[in-house]
Chain A
Amino acid sequence: SQQGEEDPQALSIQEGENATMNCSYKTSINNLQWYRQNSGRGLVHLILIRSNEREKHSGRLRVTLDTSKKSSSLLITASRAADTASYFCATDEAGTALIFGKGTTLSVSS
């Protein structure tokens, strides 16, 4: 069953623009993670934000977490064509399985 729900399902932008994806989840979590998947390939871990953190940065990525609203957002600044991929949020409830959302498909055109 899906825990996280990403929004939007698909996003098309131009190179240089910022991309924002949102994730909502249902239960209490230990942490929330974002992954990237290029078409049909493995998932690449992008960033992990703990339940007691509100914001985290990694390079061009900025993640926020609002546990009161059970939501998170991923911002990719100055997007590049190479950022074209599907992005998934995954919640970790108990240090075991990650529960993934259905993902946002990002298309960055040059």
Chain B
Amino acid sequence: DSGVTQTPKHLITATGQRVTLRCSPRSGDLSVYWYQQSLDQGLQFLIQYYNGEERAKGNILERFSAQQFPDLHSELNLSSLELGDSALYFCASSARGLAGSYNEQFFGPGTRLTVL
């Protein structure tokens, strides 16, 4: 058990809908990262938050957004869903996440999103 929790485990929805994925980092970790894993693209970094502020952005679509709350949990919002958004979405947390530091990341169990 990594100490990172994600809800829900599974999500089935229709195209055009909007969903919210939730992540609670390990106790004390300030950084939260979101990754998407699909068969064709592999594991892709989406976005990072550090202590409530956006720190880095990866291949995140404009239809996707995220935030980190004062209690450090994070939510990933996916809107106008398309079939191609079906994937495993992982959250990871790290004690650090600042440039030049060692960045061991601990992953949650993931949310499997299926868009029909």
Contacts and interface: CB of A to CB of B under 8 A. Distances in A.
Interface stretch (A17-25, A35-43, A61-69, A75-83): A35-43
B10 to A, nearest CB: 11
Interface residues on A, range: 20 to 34
A99 B2 contact: no
Contacts, number: 74
Nearest to B110: A42
Interface residues of B, number: 31
A104 B56 CA distance: 27
Interface string B94-107: 00111111111111
B106 A97 contact: no
B107 to A, nearest CB: 4
B48 interface: yes
A98 B45 contact: yes
B33 A41 contact: no
B93 to A, nearest CB: 11
A54 interface: no
Interface in B1-45: 2, 4, 33, 35, 42-43, 45
Interface in B80-116: 88, 90, 92, 96-110, 112
Interface of A: 1-2, 30-31, 33, 35, 40-45, 48, 50, 88, 92, 94-103
16 contacts: A30-B101, A33-B104, A41-B109, A42-B107, A42-B108, A43-B90, A43-B92, A45-B105, A48-B102, A96-B55, A97-B33, A97-B48, A97-B58, A100-B35, A100-B43, A101-B42
